[in-house]
């Protein structure tokens, strides 16, 4: 689709990923979802296209793009397969740009003879247990600050390293073809140089990565919301009931019109947040708004799209049923809806 906000280069990238999603990802999505298998062949294709290097400078082997083009790619993948889209998002956002693990449990690291010794565990870590996972980065408590607060730092851990274990994968409601594990660290030793960035800056870096990540998840959710529109328009034109296409009924047409409005609002919100971020302006509120609006758009559209598909919407072969299961996490991951509301309220001075 033509978007006047995008440059020719951005439009080209968007179209290339859209074709890849349609021709390479979509044909194997159902099978990987059903079998709960990681789509190595698809990920290899994405790597060959340079998608995992999209936002990184060319001198480091990247494509020299920026965070916004990464979001465009994530949105296109999210239209047809959220598992594949989150694999890219986690690889580039949470992954290669310091990987930060959500600290549901306490993880500590202490310096001993020039090595960090890490102990603890982490929950819900994406891309952490595949055959091609080569490193993970832990955000761990590394000491105490003079004011008594915890000192938190980020440390790279190559995979495999003795003492590091990716525990058996979670049995999830959706995102079946995405890799998610609990991790445990038992006296994991890595060289002191594996510390990422300044010691004690781990928490500040983590918050910055989360703000950025919200924009990328909003892009994914926008893709999911749009994918639900795509499928619903197609189905409403094809499916005849009581002698005419179901889309000829205003009740169905209005439902789809509202879905399109939600998808467009979600896109506008994440484009705005990304523009502010790339311009070096404060973007915390905009990122939270984008994540909130897009996550809800995905879930609402998935519910409506499933309804429009009638009984077929309850069948796993149908993309809308997958969006229905997959979209729930978009209201939870990278900060829940409630957390986004808290952030927005705080930015408003409340
Ligand atoms: C499939 C999957 C993949 C994930 N991948 C990653 C990953 O790669 N990296 C990563 O860092 N994290 C990852 N996560 C973690 C995810 O970001 C968290 O699950 C999410 O942020 C919610 O945190 P929580 O599970 O601890 O929920 P909790 O914080 O326990 O929240 C539970 C409920 O309480 C509400 N709540 C909590 N506090 C408040 C409050 N103060 N006021 C009002 N309501 C409140 C929440 O909104 C929510 O409804 C992943 C999770 C899943 C399920």
Cβ(175) to ligand 1 under 6 A? yes
What's the gap in Å between 66 CA and the centre of ligand 1?
27
For ligand 1, say whether the CB of 133 is within 6 Å of any of its atoms: no
Write down which residue in 149, 179, 199 finishes a domain: 199
Q: Which DSSP helix (H) or strand (E) runs through 164?
A: strand 164-166
Dist CA 181 CA 108 (whole Å): 19
CATH number of the domain where residue 25 is located: 1.10.540.10
**C-alpha distances in Å from residue 204, one per residue of 153, 195, 200, 276, 284:** 9, 15, 9, 19, 13
Based on the fold, state whether residues 255 and 189 are members of the same structural domain. Answer: no
Output the DSSP codes for 77-126.
HHHH-HHHHHHHHIIIIIIIS------SS-EEEEEETTEEEEEEEEEEEE
Tell me, in angstroms, the distance from the centre of ligand 1 to residue 335's CA. Answer: 6
How far apart CA 327 and CA 301 sit, in angstroms, is 9
Pocket test for ligand 1, best of 124, 171, 327 (most atoms within 8 A of CB): 124
Q: Whose CA is nearest to atom 45 of ligand 1?
A: 338
Residue 22 within a domain: yes
Question: What CATH number is given to the structural domain containing 164?
Answer: 2.40.110.10
Give yes or no: residues 126 and 90 share one domain: no
Instruction: Specify the CATH number for the domain of residue 307.
Output: 1.20.140.10
Q: How high is the pLDDT of residue 43?
A: 98
Contact (CB, 8 A) for 26 and 83: no
Q: 108 lies in a domain?
A: no
CA of 57 to the centre of ligand 1 (A): 32
Same domain as 309, residue 332: yes
Contact 190, 142 (CB under 8 A): no
Q: Which pLDDT tens digit goes with each residue over 54-63?
A: 999 999 889 9
State the number of CA atoms in the 13 A half-sphere of 252 facing the CB.
22
Final residue before a domain boundary, out of 140, 173, 199: 199
Q: Helical H runs in the chain?
A: 8-20, 26-35, 40-49, 67-80, 82-89, 202-238, 250-278, 284-308, 319-326, 337-347
Confidence band, pLDDT 50/70/90 cuts, at residue 17: very high
Q: How far apart are CA 118 and CA 114, in angstroms?
A: 13
Tracing tokens 């994991």 back to the chain, one arrives at: 188
- How confident is the model over 70-119, as pLDDT tens digits? 999 999 999 999 999 999 999 988 654 444 444 448 799 999 999 999 99
What does pTM read for this prediction? 0.95
Q: Are residues 90 and 132 in the same domain?
A: no
- The reply to whether 224 and 327 lie within a common domain is yes
pLDDT at 193: 96
Give the pLDDT mean for 308-336: 97
Model pLDDT for residues 290-302, shown as the tens digit of each residue: 999 999 999 999 9
Residue 1 — very low, low, confident or very high, per pLDDT cuts 50/70/90?
A: low
65 part of a folded domain? yes
Two tokens, residue 12: 């080209």
User: What is the residue-averaged pLDDT of the chain?
Assistant: 94
The mean pLDDT value for 46-67 works out to 94
Cβ–ligand 1 contact at 312 (below 6 Å): no
pLDDT in tens, 250-301: 999 999 999 999 999 999 999 999 999 999 999 999 999 999 999 999 999 9
Measure the CA angle with vertex 94, ends 33 and 132; round to 5°: 55
- Spatial contact of 328 and 299, defined as CB atoms under 8 Å apart: yes
As a whole number of angstroms, the distance between CA 20 and CA 84 comes to: 12
Task: Tell whether 313 and 208 lie within a shared domain.
Answer: yes
Tens digit of pLDDT for each residue in 149-174?
899 999 999 999 999 999 999 999 99
Q: Total domain count for the chain?
A: 3
Does 183 contact ligand 1 (Cβ within 6 A)? no
Q: Is the dihedral of CA 267, 273, 275, 277 positive or negative?
A: negative
Residue 224 is predicted with a pLDDT of 99
Residue 247 shares a structural domain with residue 321: yes
Answer yes or no: do 154 and 217 share one domain.
no
Give Cβ neighbours of residue 16 (< 8 Å, ≥ 6 apart). 49
Are 270 and 310 contained in the same domain? yes
Write the residue with the smallest CA distance to atom 12 of ligand 1. 102
pLDDT tens across 174-218, in order?
Answer: 999 999 999 999 999 999 999 988 898 877 887 888 899 999 999
pLDDT value of residue 304: 98
Position 184 scores a pLDDT of 97
Q: Is the CB of 292 under 6 A from ligand 1?
A: no
Q: 133 is in which domain, residue-wise?
A: 115-199
Quick check: is 2 in a domain? no
**CB-ligand 1 contact for 180 (6 Å cutoff):** yes
Q: Is residue 62 in a domain?
A: yes
110 assigned to some structural domain: no
Residues 127 and 165 in one domain: yes
Q: What is the DSSP letter of 4?
A: T
pLDDT value, residue 205: 80
| Residue 17 within a domain | yes
> How much is the pLDDT for 102?
40
Q: Are residues 186 and 288 in the same domain?
A: no
Residue 208 and residue 281 share a domain: yes
Q: In angstroms, how far apart are the furthest CA atoms of the chain? A: 79
C-alpha of residue 52 to centroid of ligand 1, in Å: 25
Among 171, 199, 227, give the residue marking a domain's end.
Answer: 199
Domain annotation covers residue 182: yes
Q: Is 334 a catalytic residue?
A: yes
């Amino acid at each position: 689709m033509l978007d006047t906000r995008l440059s020719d280069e951005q439009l080209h990238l968007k179209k290339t990923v859209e074709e890849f999603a349609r021709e390479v990802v979509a044909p194997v999505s159902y099978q990987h979802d059903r079998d709960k298998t990681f789509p190595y062949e698809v990920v290899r294709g994405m790597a060959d296209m340079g998608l995992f290097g999209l936002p990184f400078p060319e001198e480091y082997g990247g494509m020299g793009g920026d965070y916004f083009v990464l979001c465009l790619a994530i949105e296109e993948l999210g239209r047809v397969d959220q598992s594949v889209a989150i694999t890219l998002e986690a690889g580039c956002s949470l992954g290669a740009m310091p990987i930060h693990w959500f600290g549901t449990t306490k993880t500590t690291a202490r310096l001993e003879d020039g090595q960090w010794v890490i102990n603890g565990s982490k929950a819900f870590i994406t891309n952490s247990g595949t055959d091609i996972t080569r490193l993970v980065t832990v955000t761990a408590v590394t000491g105490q600050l003079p004011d008594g607060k915890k000192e938190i730092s980020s440390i790279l851990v190559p995979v495999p390293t003795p003492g590091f274990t990716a525990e058996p994968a979670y049995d999830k409601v959706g995102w079946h073809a995405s890799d998610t594990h609990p991790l445990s660290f038992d006296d994991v030793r890595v060289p002191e140089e594996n510390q990422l960035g300044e010691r004690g800056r781990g928490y500040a870096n983590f918050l910055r990565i989360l703000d950025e990540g919200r924009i990328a998840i909003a892009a994914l959710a926008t893709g999911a919301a749009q994918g639900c529109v795509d499928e619903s328009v197609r189905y409403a034109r094809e499916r005849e009931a009581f002698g005419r296409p179901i889309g000829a009924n205003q009740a169905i047409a209005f439902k789809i019109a509202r879905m399109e409005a939600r998808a467009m609002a979600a896109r506008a919100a994440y484009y705005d947040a990304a523009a502010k971020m790339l311009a070096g302006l404060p973007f915390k509120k905009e990122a939270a708004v984008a994540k909130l609006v897009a996550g809800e758009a995905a879930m609402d559209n998935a519910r409506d799209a499933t309804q429009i598909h009638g009984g077929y919407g309850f069948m796993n072969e149908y993309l809308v049923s997958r969006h229905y299961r997959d979209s729930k996490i978009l209201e939870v991951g990278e900060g829940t809806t409630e957390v986004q509301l808290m952030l927005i309220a705080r930015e408003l001075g409340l």
